[in-house]
A = this chain, B = another copy of it.
Amino acid sequence: MTEIKATNITWHEGHAGRAEREAIVKQKGVLIWFTGLSASGKSTIAFTLEHALVERGHLAYALDGDNIRHGLNKNLGFSAEDRTENIRRIAEVGKLFVDAGIVTCTAFISPYLADRQAARDVIGAEDFVEVYVNPSLAVCEERDPKGLYKKARAGEIKGFTGIDDPYEPPTDPQIEIDTGTVSPREATSLIIGLLEERGAIPPLNK
């Protein structure tokens, strides 16, 4: 076995504190919750933001369908009950990430007001930034990168948000972005400006 080297380690009965971790990464944990229709551009903005933050030396992490629906939540479907459990688990994971000191982005349709309110409650309103990605439905349908709207209109997919399942828009989002007219780059700049204003990340040295 390895030789015991450190002798200044003390026995702790609880977790290290969030503030200690935030001091290491020189940022504050925060959750940026993107909500909007399928093909509204949530993930694109979340990825662009994640990259921009990482390039500035910040630890940022995006949770989206790719790493959640195929992993933690692969045993959930798209019934109202499963959608609620989907968002509940994402909020709980987001809370852990924020506690770890990470600038965390979540990009999920999250169509129901009550589920997003529950997420805000779990994470804490002071650490929760709601971004409503809100192009028109027509823009989303025109993009339709996976052909899902087409299938939903043809009745081949049931319970599709915006077609035959409701999307309940945020009543008071911190930021609203019409990606029909605002580019991912512009959206990212807006959000970074907000994070600087909130003190989650320091402003860039000019």
Given contacts A15-B47, A15-B67, A57-B24, A5 and B189 within 8 Å (CB-CB): yes
**Minimum distance in angstroms from A102 CB to a CB of chain B:** 6
**Beta-carbon contact of B60 and A16 below 8 Å:** yes
Given contacts A92-B72, A96-B71, A100-B61, A50 and B15 within 8 Å (CB-CB): yes
Given contacts A16-B51, A21-B61, A189 and B9 within 8 Å (CB-CB): yes
**Is A20's beta carbon under 8 Å from chain B?**
yes
**Beta-carbon contact of B61 and A96 below 8 Å:** yes
Interface residues of A (CB under 8 A from B): 1-7, 9-16, 20-21, 24-25, 44, 47-48, 50-52, 54, 57-63, 66-67, 71-72, 75, 85, 89, 92-93, 95-97, 99-102, 122, 175, 183-186, 188-190, 192-194, 197, 204
- Residue numbers in B under 8 Å from A95 (CB-CB): 71
Report the nearest B residue to A102, measured CB to CB: B100
Given contacts A67-B96, A67-B99, A190-B4, A58 and B11 within 8 Å (CB-CB): no
21 inter-chain pairs at a CB distance below 8 angstroms, sorted by A residue, are A2-B190, A3-B193, A5-B192, A5-B193, A6-B188, A6-B189, A9-B185, A11-B183, A12-B48, A13-B47, A15-B67, A16-B50, A16-B62, A25-B59, A59-B59, A59-B101, A61-B100, A72-B96, A75-B85, A96-B97, A97-B100
**Beta-carbon contact of B51 and A10 below 8 Å:** yes
A62 to B102, CA, bound (A): 15
- Residue numbers in B under 8 Å from A54 (CB-CB): 16, 20-21, 24
**Minimum distance in angstroms from A76 CB to a CB of chain B:** 11
- A sample of 19 more A-B contacts (CB under 8 A), given A15-B67, A16-B54, is A2-B190, A2-B194, A2-B197, A4-B193, A6-B52, A7-B185, A9-B51, A9-B189, A10-B185, A11-B48, A12-B51, A13-B44, A15-B50, A16-B51, A21-B61, A24-B54, A71-B122, A72-B93, A100-B102
**Minimum distance in angstroms from A186 CB to a CB of chain B:** 6
